Amino acid sequence: MIQAKGLAKTFQTKQGRVKAVAGVDFTVNAGEIVGFLGPNGAGKTTTMRILTTLLGPSSGTATIAGCDLLQEAAKVRTHIGYVSQAGGSKPSSPVRRDIVLQARLYGMSRAEAESRANEVIAQLGLEELADRVIQTLSGGQRRRVDMALGLVHAPKLLFLDEPTANLDPESRSVVWEHIRRLRDEHGTTVFLSTHYLDEADNLCDRVLIIDKGRIIAEDSPQNLKAAIAHDTIEIEVDGEAARAADLIGAHEEVHDVSVNGSVLSVSCRGAERILADLLRELESAHIRAESLRVVRPSLDDVFLTMTDRRPQPDAAAVHA
Ligand SMILES: Nc1ncnc2c1ncn2[C@@H]1O[C@H](COP(=O)(O)OP(=O)(O)OP(=O)(O)O)[C@@H](O)[C@H]1O
C-alpha cells in the first residue's frame, strides 16, 4: 500500500538547511496497522505530509496504493484519507452537515453524500451525536468526527497523525477500537504516528521508528521487544541469596543477576524457556524459591534504547 524509496526533505531556513527526512525506505502492506514512532523533531509529520501529497520531497519517491506519488498525485489523493492532529472539522457545524459537506467536496451528489454520511456515522458510532454542533463534543468524540471526515470517500489507506493525543484513557480505547474495526471490517490500511508507546504496542501490527530523519527499526512490537531488551525474573529465596545468585548466574542464558536482600533479579533472554532450569538448580542446592515474577520489557525500553536515550549493551546489534 505504501512503498517509500529514498524519501528525503531538506528545508531551507534563515539559520541554514534543516534535513528533516534524510532518505527513508519502507513498505506498508495492505490491511496492516503500522505505527510511526519517533522523538520530537524526528521527521514523522514531514514524512506524512510528503506521503499525503501535501509537501514535495527534495528527493526520492513513493508508490501509494499502486500510484506514483509524484506523477499521479491527484490519483493518490483519491485513495487516501488524512486526519491531521488539528482535525478538519468546522466547530460551528453540526456533525452530519459537516460530513455531508465533505462528501460533496469529493464530488458526490446530495443523495450520495447523505447516504455516505450515514454510513460513516454508523461506522464510527456517531449516530447519537449526528445533530450535535461539533464544538460541543468531547475531545474523543471530536476525534471520531475527524476520522469520519477522513473516511467519507472510502479510502483504502488512512493516515492518522497522533489520533489519540491529549485524550483520556477511555476515549483512547474507544478510538483504538474504531481503528481496529476499520481494518478488520473494512480492510482499511492504517498508518498512524504516535508518541504513546502503549498505543503502538496495543494497536499496531508493525512499528517504524524514525530518529533524526532516518528509519532505525522496523518490526512487530513483539519482535522489537524480544530483540532489544532482556526479560527479568525476580526470585525471592529463603536465605543464601548470594549462593543462589552464583548458581543462577552460571546459566548460559542469564545475562546478569543482582541481589537485594532475599530477592534476586535475573536478567535473561526467554524467561519462560529457562525458568524451570533455574528452579531445578535451586532445588538441587536445597534453596527454596518463595515467590517469583517475570517482568517483560516494554516498547518504552525499545524506544529509549534505539533512540539512544538509554545505553544498552545489545543496542549495537539491533542497529546493525
Ligand atoms: N517548514 C519547515 N521549515 C523548516 N524546518 C522544518 C519545517 N517543518 C519541519 N521542520 C524541521 O524538520 C524537523 C522534523 O520535523 P517534523 O515536524 O517532521 O518532526 P516530528 O517527528 O513530526 O516531530 P513532533 O513529534 O514534535 O511533531 C524538525 O527539526 C523541524 O524543526
CB 130 within 8 A of CB 94: yes
- Decide whether 2-219 matches 230-296 in CATH topology: no
pLDDT at 52 over 60: yes
Helix pair 221-228, 299-306: axis angle to 10 deg: 60
Report the atom number in ligand 1 closest to the C-alpha of 210: 21
Cα torsion 153, 158, 159, 163: sign: positive
Q: What is the pLDDT of residue 309?
A: 61
| Residue 57 beta carbon below 6 angstroms from any ligand 1 atom | no
Q: What is the pLDDT of residue 315?
A: 35
Pocket residue to mutate for ligand 1, from 7, 21, 44, 55, most atoms within 8 A of Cβ: 44
Domain 2-219: CATH superfamily is P-loop containing nucleotide triphosphate hydrolases (3.40.50.300)
Q: How many CA atoms lie within 13 A of 136 on its CB side?
A: 9
Nearest CA to ligand 1 atom 3: 11
Task: Using the mean position of ligand 1's atoms as its centre, give its distance from the Cα of residue 97 in Å.
Answer: 34
Q: What is the pLDDT of residue 27?
A: 96
Q: What is the pLDDT of residue 227?
A: 75
* The C-alpha cell that represents 22 in the structure block: 534524510
Confidence of residue 270 (pLDDT cuts 50, 70, 90): confident
Domain 230-296 maps to which CATH number in 3.30.70.100, 3.40.50.10300, 3.40.50.300, 1.10.10.10?
3.30.70.100
Distances (CA, A) of 320 to 141, 292, 308, 311, 317: 43, 35, 14, 16, 5
pTM, two decimal places: 0.81
List the chain domain ranges: 2-219, 230-296
ipTM of the complex: 0.97
pLDDT in tens, 102-143: 999 999 999 999 999 999 999 888 999 999 999 999 988 999
